[in-house]
Chains A and B, each alone.
Chain A
Amino acid sequence: MSAIAAPPVVSLSGVRKRFNEGMPNETEVLHGIDLVVAPGEFTSLIGPSGSGKSTLLNLLGLLDRPSAGEYRLKGVPIGDSSDDDRTRARLDTLGFVFQFHHLLPEFSALENVMLPGLMREGVFTRANRANAADLLSAVGLSDAFDKRPGELSGGMQQRVAIARALALAPDLVLADEPTGNLDTHSADEAFALLRRFNAERGCAFIIVTHDPRLAARCDRVIELRDGLIEHDGPVTRSAPSS
């Protein structure tokens, strides 16, 4: 008896995104994107500025809606669903890592990692605390539990953000320039963490980056140019550059 194959985490078909629709200054940023990301894939999204990377990431992250085409998240059409359904899907299925960390300064490092659990459970639970402590230890911040984001270096803050993105074991982590604001050493460390979590926990990653060095270390590279996928394939020795 063969196991039923899990649906793709992400499946985009003919997705277009237009801004200022119906107005004289209407602009189409994405011109029909077809994209499938399988569970556990470690993908980079590259392209020059203005190619539509951020727009695509916002669509994938359910922060924006496509103007046309279909978006399926884990096989379920989600493009036109209600704001509450999309919010719930963000909490249950997606993790975010942003370039500028975006930790909440009012909470300690541990509490920041506990926030997704707090959103789901409504209270700080013991299990949530244990999970957050494990994740922070895994990113090498076991002595920084009670430190506020302002007391941490940029690299450390990004590691907290990575731990937070993984707190609810998402199926897909969307990382927008996760190393863009870090020095080379910290960037390598953060990237190594993403790689490690991908291997250990099996969640898929889509990483937007301008750094060809990091893109080359992913399993798959998607290159966007002028709102279209110009290249999509496994990383070769001569990886496409942004």
Chain B
Amino acid sequence: MRFESIVAWRFLREGGLQTVLIVVGAALGISFIVFITGFMGELQRDIVQRTLGVQPHVTIKPLEEIARPLRREGDPADAAQVLSEVQPRGQRLRSVDQWQAAVARLRENAEVRAISPLAAGPGLVTRGDSNKSLTIVGIVAEPYAAVTRLDQKLVAGRLKVDPGDVLLGRDLAEDLGVGIGDTVRLSTPSSTGDTYRVRGIFDLGAKNLNQLYAYVGLPTAQALHALPGGVTSIEVTVTDLWEAERVAADLSRSVPHLVESWIHTNRQLMVALSNQTLMTRMIRFTFGLVVAIGVASVLMVAVVQKTREIGILRAMGTSRGRVLRVFLLQGALIGLIGSVLGCAVGYTLARIMSGLLTSADGSRLFNAHVDLPLYLYTMLGAIALGVVAAWLPARRAARLDPAQAIRM
């Protein structure tokens, strides 16, 4: 391939403005593909994180209790029901059976990054005359922070849930008029409750979420919800957010419980994100096609311009295969140079846009970062695209009759 590389490179280098224009064109197209891919990926991640709040990637819960219809005895084949109506059973607060064993089995999965057992149930928070219904969640601080990054969402106090401590959402704390060090009363249908001191105030990014949760230590919640030693769910963080559904399916085979991914419980959000992804792909495909057509047309012109040179190379003993490879390599080189420049421009564009786009709370909507796998795939894709785009011109060059080409 050395001969082909040398000739291809010279042909391109001596192409002058023609080469510059197609490389710049390819670079601009590829930079937009890089930008839109990185931008939409970050944006979707941000939307998911903000929407989910403290929802984990995967949740393990007890299987739902179902009402079994009574059947005729001694005849299992007969499906006729004796009862004329079967009412669905109300779901009570139950513990995950053998939850410590389940946690041990979850840890065996390489894609599981963090595991947090918790006990959550309905409750009431009271401060003076003010009452608010909410979900009282019992957690173990460290694993819970690993799963939900609650520590990063604290706006006051710290992540401390010792006996007698409680963490409240910012909006709930405002509604109750409490701050760090103040006390509130927590009660549940199973317990008249006790007073707890506010140790931390968090902001999950949405008012309804900030009014919904109060965090206490796991043993406290177990007592409040009458679940001695039990947990209502096990929350899991996986290595790749978007692979949660597949990992959940894997996990459901190893534990005899209900395993649900955030994708399953947020179908509507996923439909919206999928549509967005589809649009992004269409935009990327269109830009890729435009780049490919540009490369193909420039190389087609180059073949016409270089007909005589191709003829002389063929006459001197260059095979058709070599001529073909010379032009395919030119396509690959345009793709490579275009993608290197395109990745640099795409990153710069992302940097600029990340400074301009902010969310409602004034924070950056997304952060531009050097995404090496994206750049690598883009380069490989651009090289492949260049080769495909060069195929027709290259074939035309290889098929030139040297005797005729020289006479042109």
Contacts and interface: CB of A to CB of B under 8 A. Distances in A.
A124 B6 contact: yes
B11 A106 contact: yes
A17 B120 CA distance: 94
B67 interface: no
A97 to B, nearest CB: 11
Contact of B406 (A98, A104, A123): A98
Interface string A63-96: 1100000000000000000011001101110101
Given A106-B11, A106-B13, A119-B3, A98 B312 contact: yes
B312 A87 contact: no
Interface in B301-354: 308-309, 311-320, 322
A242 interface: no
B406 A102 contact: yes
Given A102-B308, A106-B14, A87 B317 contact: yes
A226 B401 CA distance: 25
Q: How large is the interface on A (under 10, 10 to 19, 20 to 34, 35 or more residues)?
A: 20 to 34
Given A63-B402, A122-B2, A105 B14 contact: yes
A58 interface: yes
Contacts of A90: 315-317
A122 B14 contact: no
A47 B308 CA distance: 26
B315 A96 contact: yes
Contacts of B10: 104, 106-107
A116 B403 contact: no
Nearest to B309: A104
Contact of A58 (B13, B316, B319, B403): B403
A106 B12 CA distance: 9
Contacts of B322: 119
A167 to B, nearest CB: 9
B169 to A, nearest CB: 70
A61 interface: yes
Contacts of A193: none
Nearest to B407: A54
A206 to B, nearest CB: 15
Contacts of A98: 312, 406
Contacts of A169: none
B312 to A, nearest CB: 4
B320 A83 contact: yes
Nearest to A176: B406
A227 to B, nearest CB: 17
Nearest to B319: A87
B392 to A, nearest CB: 20
B316 A115 contact: yes
Nearest to A61: B315
A124 to B, nearest CB: 7
A63 B309 contact: no
B317 A91 contact: yes
Nearest to A168: B317
B2 A119 contact: no
B317 A116 contact: yes
A141 to B, nearest CB: 19
Nearest to A164: B316
Interface in B266-312: 308-309, 311-312
Contact of A119 (B1, B318, B402, B403): B318
Contacts of B403: 58, 61, 63-64
A185 to B, nearest CB: 26
A199 B320 CA distance: 34
A63 B313 CA distance: 12
Nearest to B315: A96
A88 B13 CA distance: 28
A88 B314 CA distance: 10
Interface string A101-127: 010111100000001101110111000
Nearest to A174: B315
Nearest to A93: B317
Nearest to A96: B315
Contacts of B406: 63, 98, 102
Nearest to A107: B10
A123 B319 contact: no
Nearest to A57: B403
Nearest to B312: A102
Contacts of B318: 87, 91, 119
Contacts of A120: 317
A175 to B, nearest CB: 13
Q: Which of B1, B3, B10 has the most CB of A within 10 A?
A: B3
Contacts of B314: 87
A87 B322 CA distance: 11
Given A102-B308, A104-B309, A119 B316 contact: yes
Given A63-B403, A83-B320, A102-B309, 14 more contacts: A63-B315, A63-B402, A63-B406, A84-B319, A88-B317, A90-B315, A90-B316, A96-B315, A102-B312, A106-B7, A116-B316, A119-B313, A122-B3, A123-B3
Closest A-B pairs by Cβ, 6 of them: A91-B317, A106-B10, A63-B403, A106-B14, A102-B312, A90-B317
16 contacts: A63-B401, A63-B402, A63-B406, A87-B320, A91-B318, A98-B312, A98-B406, A102-B309, A102-B406, A104-B313, A106-B11, A119-B3, A119-B318, A119-B322, A122-B2, A164-B316
